């Protein structure tokens, strides 16, 4: 049993070993995987083993035979082969011997497989040893082969390196040869170029000449870039000579072509009209002065392009281009200067005496000439605008030389202003802005001419302001106010009446009468529409200095620069205000103060409204020296004579130098504010005079009473005599209730009588309900305030109730009602002029009834006692005056909108 178990365990171990050996080269998870190189070596060994001779077939390994089968075979062999001895077994001893022999034989037979396997292993070991010997020999031969390969590789790489070096040397030498040939090429072309340039068959306009220029430029540039080459300076001179020859050929060719065109233009053939006749026909003139040159332009343009393309990189070509352009412009000047001069002289003769038409025609002619010359110039050349501008300025100078003598002798502002408008608007803004490049020279000359015109205009404006405004001496007709306004109002009324139709004796006369009536009616209607403003608003009814000032400013505004206009407007408005004030003083002396003040108010309102559209600052800065400190310092120096040579800080001379330096002061003069200040002053005077005209006796009594009370009242109000001072006024004979009653009645009579006249004057001069209401409101408040003061004076100065009844002093409400009723009566008194007022007034939107309601509702005593300010009156009249013609159309009478005014009834 032990043997069986041992055999089984051995078989089990063999099975495990076999399985592990099989797993060495498993395809899925090999335990000892062979590398590719090992597999190649194994294949080599296999081939070598096969070549060495066939080997005996390997016996089956024990692992390949099943242990159970070998055991069975062994038992069968042991059982089949074991035979009893032939003699047989006679006794036990023989059996034991036989059994021992059999057991030994069986044991020997059992180990036979192992012995065979051992023999096979020894055989395989011998084969492996032989294989290792073969591998060692192969490795020796492989090492020798590698050594030989390394030797051959070294020799080959050395050969390759030498070959590459030789090839590189060959290429370097070839490049050097090419570089030498290339550099020598720039030196060897000079003789060839000289021969070509001296050839009589060479044409400047040919392609061969272009190639010559290209080679000259190329060689010159190369030599200039490499000045250190041998003989570079000599070859530079040679190529410069070639370039000079080429430039001479170009210059001679272009000059000859331009000279031929000039000769053909100045001396045309018999079939071409002369210059004097050609100037009368524009087409013939254009063909004469531009036809030959346009023909020559095609020849010159091709050559000029060769030079222009090189002029940016070479000074020689640039100088050649300048010479060609200068020659062309000189030839054109010889052709065009006499023609332009003759044409301008013809224009001057055609517009003799009409400076505006002369300026417009001459400038238009020069504009066309400049455009044509610029167009012709660029048919020859593509560059050279500065030279062309100088040439065109020479042509335009003819215009300047022709126009300047006329301009410096023109005295009329209208003509100078019109010429300014022509030069600035028509020429500089319209023509020049549309084509600024071609008209650059014309713009320069036109600007100079415009400056001369502006200078003359400013000079004449100064003289005009001094002669026609400052030194204006009004005639009696200029100061006929309010007669002129009443006359214009009556004319407006007469135009509203329908023209009577007359019977005619014949059909023709009837037709003519009807047509004349229709014409008269249409004229009257048109005149009525134009007279919708106040008579004082009509341009023709303005005071001459006001009209002249505004006309002058409107013309200067469009013609001169703003700083100049500001200075002139400051002077003009100052002189105009002085002239209006002087005229108002004369009207006040001839008529009444009310007429003079209303006249001045109206014209100041016109001035303020008319200067509003001018979008300039009417402020002018004036600089002056203030010597007031010099005087003070001089007095101090005289008082400190002893300290003149003092060495301390109290030196009088040093103090005089430090403190006596005159100061520079800047004053801002605003014309608009000056008009407002004058208007405020006049309104204050008018309100004062109007109140005095209506309640003069009452104001006189109040002033007298206040003076008496001031004299009677002691200095200390708490003295016992202060209670007696209140009866001083009551005890005065002129302050008795009866006298006060007569004063009140006289004042009421004046209000009823003079208020209508006052309002009529305001309506006649101002003709604007808003303006009238604004000015009348402080008058009304002052009147009511005077009665309120009288009532307070009587109440506080010992007048009894009976005295108050005797005086019949009205209250503020009663005075307000009195003024309202007087205003209504005044409106009824001028009812005959209501229709004319409706046609004349333009900006009145407050009717009489509305004004009456406003006046009647002002019954609050606290509001009535309030003293109005003249600043508020002047400020509220900013847009109140009736519309007048704007500055741009100040010479025309503008038609204003009609605003209906309701009756005050």
Contact 765, 482 (CB under 8 A): yes
Residue 588 Ramachandran class (φ > 0 left, ψ -120 to 50 alpha, else beta): alpha
Which spans in 226-272 are helix H? 232-266
Whole domain around residue 861: which residue ranges? 683-712+725-889
Could you tell me if 734 and 848 lie in one domain? Answer: yes
Reported as a pLDDT band with limits 50, 70 and 90, residue 525 is: very low
**Which uninterrupted H or E stretch holds 378?**
helix 355-380
Whether the predicted model's global pTM rises above the 0.85 cut: no
Digit-coded pLDDT (tens) for 393-415: 999 999 999 999 999 999 998 99
Whether 832 is covered by a domain: the verdict is yes
Give the Cα separation of 248 and 191 in Å (integer): 18
pLDDT at position 657? 62
**Does the bond joining 482 to the residue before it have cis omega, within 30 degrees of 0?**
yes
Q: What token pair was written down for 448?
A: 């100079």
Which spans in 612-650 are helix H? 628-639
Give 369 or 2, the one with higher predicted confidence. 369
Domain boundary residue, one of 423, 452, 481 = 452
Reported as a pLDDT band with limits 50, 70 and 90, residue 270 is: low
Reported as a pLDDT band with limits 50, 70 and 90, residue 671 is: low
How many of the other CB atoms lie within 10 Å of CB of 117? 16
Q: What share of the chain is helix, strand, coil (3-state, %, to 5)?
A: 75, 0, 25
Whether 557 is covered by a domain: the verdict is no
DSSP per-residue codes, 37-87: HHHHHHHHHHHHHHHH-PPPPPPPPTTTS-HHHHHHHHHHHHHHH----TT
* 490: pLDDT strictly greater than 80: yes
Give 548 or 507, the one with higher predicted confidence. 548
Contact 422, 363 (CB under 8 A): yes
pLDDT at position 640? 66
Could you tell me if 161 and 271 lie in one domain? Answer: no
Could you tell me if 706 and 811 lie in one domain? Answer: yes
Could you tell me if 141 and 272 lie in one domain? Answer: no
Could you tell me if 307 and 408 lie in one domain? Answer: yes
Could you tell me if 170 and 272 lie in one domain? Answer: no
pLDDT at position 844? 34
Whether 782 is covered by a domain: the verdict is yes
pLDDT at position 538? 65
Tell me how far apart the terminal alpha carbons of the chain are, to the nearest angstrom: 165
Whether 778 is covered by a domain: the verdict is yes
Reported as a pLDDT band with limits 50, 70 and 90, residue 78 is: very low
Could you tell me if 171 and 274 lie in one domain? Answer: no
Lowest mean pLDDT among 205-214, 324-333, 622-631: 622-631
The mean pLDDT value for 337-355 works out to: 91
* 346: pLDDT strictly greater than 60: yes
Could you tell me if 276 and 170 lie in one domain? Answer: no
Exposure string (b/e) for 45-81, b if CB count within 10 Å is 16 or more?
Answer: beeebeeeeeeeeeeeebbebebeebeeebeeebeee
Whether 315 is covered by a domain: the verdict is yes
The mean pLDDT value for 563-578 works out to: 88
Could you tell me if 763 and 863 lie in one domain? Answer: yes
Percent of the chain with pLDDT over 90: 28
Reported as a pLDDT band with limits 50, 70 and 90, residue 481 is: confident
Digit-coded pLDDT (tens) for 734-777: 878 888 889 999 988 998 888 888 988 888 888 888 888 899 99
Reported as a pLDDT band with limits 50, 70 and 90, residue 357 is: very high
Whether 828 is covered by a domain: the verdict is yes
pLDDT at position 583? 92
Domain boundary residue, one of 176, 200, 225 = 176
Domain boundary residue, one of 428, 452, 476 = 452
Whether 129 is covered by a domain: the verdict is yes
Could you tell me if 741 and 872 lie in one domain? Answer: yes
Could you tell me if 272 and 405 lie in one domain? Answer: yes
pLDDT at position 129? 93
The mean pLDDT value for 264-281 works out to: 62
Residue 625: strand pairing partners = 664
Reported as a pLDDT band with limits 50, 70 and 90, residue 360 is: very high
Lowest mean pLDDT among 60-74, 110-124, 552-566, 593-607: 60-74
pLDDT at position 75? 46
Whether 692 is covered by a domain: the verdict is yes
* 866: pLDDT strictly greater than 60: no
Give 180 or 366, the one with higher predicted confidence. 366
* 551: pLDDT strictly greater than 60: yes
Give 269 or 796, the one with higher predicted confidence. 796
Mean pLDDT score of the chain: 76
Number of domains in the chain: 3
Give 174 or 66, the one with higher predicted confidence. 174
């Amino acid at each position: 049993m032990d043997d069986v178990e041992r055999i089984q365990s051995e078989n089990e171990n063999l099975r495990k070993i076999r399985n592990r050996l099989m797993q060495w080269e498993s395809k899925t998870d090999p335990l000892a995987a062979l590398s590719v190189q090992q597999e190649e070596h194994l294949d080599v060994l296999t081939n070598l083993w096969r070549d060495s001779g066939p080997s005996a077939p390997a016996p089956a390994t024990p692992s390949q035979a099943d242990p159970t089968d070998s055991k069975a075979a062994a038992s069968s062999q042991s059982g089949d082969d074991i035979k009893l001895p032939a003699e047989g077994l006679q006794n036990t001893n023989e059996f034991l011997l036989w059994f021992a022999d059999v057991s030994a034989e069986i044991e020997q037979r059992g180990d036979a497989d192992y012995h065979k396997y051992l023999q096979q292993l020894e055989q395989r070991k011998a084969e492996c040893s032989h294989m290792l010997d073969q591998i060692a020999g192969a490795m020796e031969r492989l090492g020798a082969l590698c050594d030989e390969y390394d030797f051959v590789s070294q020799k080959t790489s050395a050969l390759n390196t030498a070959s590459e070096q030789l090839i590189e040397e060959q290429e370097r030498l070839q490049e050097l040869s090419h570089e030498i040939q290339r550099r020598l090429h720039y030196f060897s072309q000079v003789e060839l170029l000289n021969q070509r340039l001296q050839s009589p068959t060479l044409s400047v306009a040919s392609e061969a000449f272009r190639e010559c220029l290209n080679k000259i430029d190329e060689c010159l540039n190369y030599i200039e870039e490499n000045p250190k080459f041998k003989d570079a300076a000599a070859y530079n001179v040679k190529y410069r000579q070639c370039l000079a020859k080429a430039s001479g050929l170009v210059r001679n060719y272009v000059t000859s072509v331009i000279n031929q065109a000039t000769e053909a233009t100045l001396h045309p053939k018999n079939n071409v009209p002369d210059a004097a006749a050609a100037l009368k026909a524009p087409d013939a003139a254009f063909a004469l002065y531009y036809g030959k040159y346009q023909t020559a332009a095609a020849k010159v343009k091709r050559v000029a392009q060769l030079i222009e393309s090189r002029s940016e990189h070479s000074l020689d070509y640039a100088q050649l281009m300048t010479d060609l352009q200068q020659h062309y412009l000189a030839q054109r000047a010889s052709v065009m200067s006499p023609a332009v001069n003759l044409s301008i002289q013809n224009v001057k003769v055609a517009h003799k005496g009409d400076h505006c038409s002369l300026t417009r025609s001459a400038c238009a002619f020069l504009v066309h000439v400049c455009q044509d010359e610029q167009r012709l110039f660029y048919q020859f050349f593509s560059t050279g605008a500065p030279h062309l501008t100088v040439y065109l300025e020479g042509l335009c100078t003819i215009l300047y030389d022709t126009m300047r003598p006329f301009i410096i002798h023109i005295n009329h502002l209208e003509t100078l202003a019109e010429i300014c408008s022509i030069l600035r608007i028509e020429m500089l803004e319209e023509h020049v802005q549309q084509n600024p490049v071609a008209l650059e020279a014309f713009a320069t000359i036109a600007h100079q001419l415009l400056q001369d015109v502006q200078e003359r205009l400013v000079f004449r404006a100064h003289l005009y302001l001094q002669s026609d405004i400052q030194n204006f001496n009004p005639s009696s007709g200029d100061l006929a106010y309010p007669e002129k306004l009443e006359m214009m109002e009556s004319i407006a009324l007469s135009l509203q009446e329908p023209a009577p139709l007359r019977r005619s004796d014949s059909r023709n006369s009837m037709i003519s009468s009807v047509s004349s009536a229709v014409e008269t009616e249409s004229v009257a209607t048109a005149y009525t529409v134009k007279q919708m403003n106040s008579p004082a608003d009509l341009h023709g009814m303005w005071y001459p200095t006001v009209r002249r000032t505004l006309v002058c400013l409107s013309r200067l505004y469009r013609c001169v620069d703003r700083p100049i206009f500001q200075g002139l407007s400051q002077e003009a408005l100052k002189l105009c205000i002085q002239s209006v004030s002087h005229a108002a003083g004369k009207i006040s002396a001839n008529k009444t103060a009310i007429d003079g003040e209303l006249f001045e108010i109206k014209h100041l309102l016109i001035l303020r409204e008319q200067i509003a559209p001018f979008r300039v600052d009417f402020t002018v800065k004036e600089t002056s020296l203030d010597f007031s400190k010099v005087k003070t310092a001089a007095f101090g120096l005289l008082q400190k004579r002893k300290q003149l040579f003092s060495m301390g800080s109290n030196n009088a001379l040093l103090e005089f130098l430090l403190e006596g330096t005159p100061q520079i002061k800047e004053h801002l003069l605003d014309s608009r504010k000056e008009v407002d200040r004058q208007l405020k002053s006049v309104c204050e005077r008018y309100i004062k005079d109007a109140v005095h005209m209506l309640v003069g006796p009452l104001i006189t009594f109040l002033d007298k009473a206040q003076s008496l009370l001031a004299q009677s009242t002691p200095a200390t109000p708490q003295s016992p005599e202060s209670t007696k001072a209140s009866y001083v006024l009551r005890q005065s004979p002129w302050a008795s209730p009866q006298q006060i009653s007569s004063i009140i009645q006289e004042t009421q009579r004046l209000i009823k009588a003079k208020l209508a006249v006052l309002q009529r004057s305001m309506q006649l001069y101002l003709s604007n309900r808003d303006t009238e209401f604004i000015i009348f409101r402080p008058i009304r408040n002052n009147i009511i305030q005077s009665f309120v003061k009288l009532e307070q004076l009587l109440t506080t100065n010992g007048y009894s109730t009976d005295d108050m009844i005797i005086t019949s002093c009205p209250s503020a409400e009663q005075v307000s009602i009195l003024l309202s009723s007087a205003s209504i009566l005044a409106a009824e008194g001028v009812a005959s002029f209501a229709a004319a007022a409706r046609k004349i007034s333009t900006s009145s939107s407050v009717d009489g009834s509305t004004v009456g309601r406003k006046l009647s509702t002002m019954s609050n005593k606290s509001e009535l006692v309030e003293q109005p300010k003249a600043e508020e009156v002047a400020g509220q009249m900013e847009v109140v005056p009736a519309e007048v013609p704007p500055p741009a159309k100040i010479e025309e009478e503008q038609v204003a909108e009609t605003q209906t005014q309701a009756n005050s009834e």
